[in-house]
Amino acid sequence: MNRRFKKPGTHVDHSQRPNLIKHQPNARIWRADITYLELRPGTWVYLSSIYEPKVHQVLAFKIGRQMEATLVVETINQALECHQKPQYFHSDMGSQYTSNEVETLLERHQISHSYSKQGYPYDNGPIEAFHSLLKREFAFQTTFSNFEDLVIRTSNYISWFNSDRIRTSV
């Protein structure tokens, strides 16, 4: 079951940024992305997630009412508190990921930032696949009473995904 929706957009001036992980199959890589979740018709919240394909787990996530760089910074900090830092942090070229706040944080921790090619989400397929599963298995079939309910229930889904869900190639 898929439910179609038109998501709000942002615009950023994309300069050429390198995809550093293309030829690094054995490197430790965190993949990051932001997806939209519908709190109620026409009201959106934003899920920032960090996924590590080698362990098939979401390492950190934050849900915010606004899609800003601070949401991404908080997610990265949460992941760094509990997990060994990666060699690479891979994301798209969204304005949140190209922000000075994110770049400074990654530089401070000596993590190389790799970017998906503009208009080519397949470079970041593992996190895109996780977000797709989250929406199909959970979000599209759930009605949330308020923001806090969405946060708690999404957290429960991610906990189940990490520990009990049968693994596929995500």
> Does residue 59 lie within any of the structural domains?
yes
> Does residue 89 lie within any of the structural domains?
yes
> Does residue 170 lie within any of the structural domains?
no
> Does residue 90 lie within any of the structural domains?
yes
φ, ψ of residue 47 to 5 degrees: the values are -105, 115
Q: What is the domain count for the chain?
A: 1
DSSP letters for 36-104: EEEEETTEEEEEEEEEETTTTEEEEEEEESS--HHHHHHHHHHHHHHSPPPSEEEE---TTTTSHHHHH
pLDDT tens for the 170 residues of the chain, in order: 566 555 555 444 445 556 666 656 678 999 999 999 999 999 999 999 999 998 999 999 999 999 999 999 999 999 999 999 999 999 999 999 999 999 999 999 999 999 988 777 777 899 999 999 999 999 999 999 999 999 999 999 999 999 988 776 55
What CATH number corresponds to the domain at position 139?
3.30.420.10
> Does residue 46 lie within any of the structural domains?
yes
> Does residue 166 lie within any of the structural domains?
no
Residue 54 structure tokens? 């080698």
> Does residue 4 lie within any of the structural domains?
no
> Does residue 23 lie within any of the structural domains?
no
Domain of 36, in residue numbers: 29-157
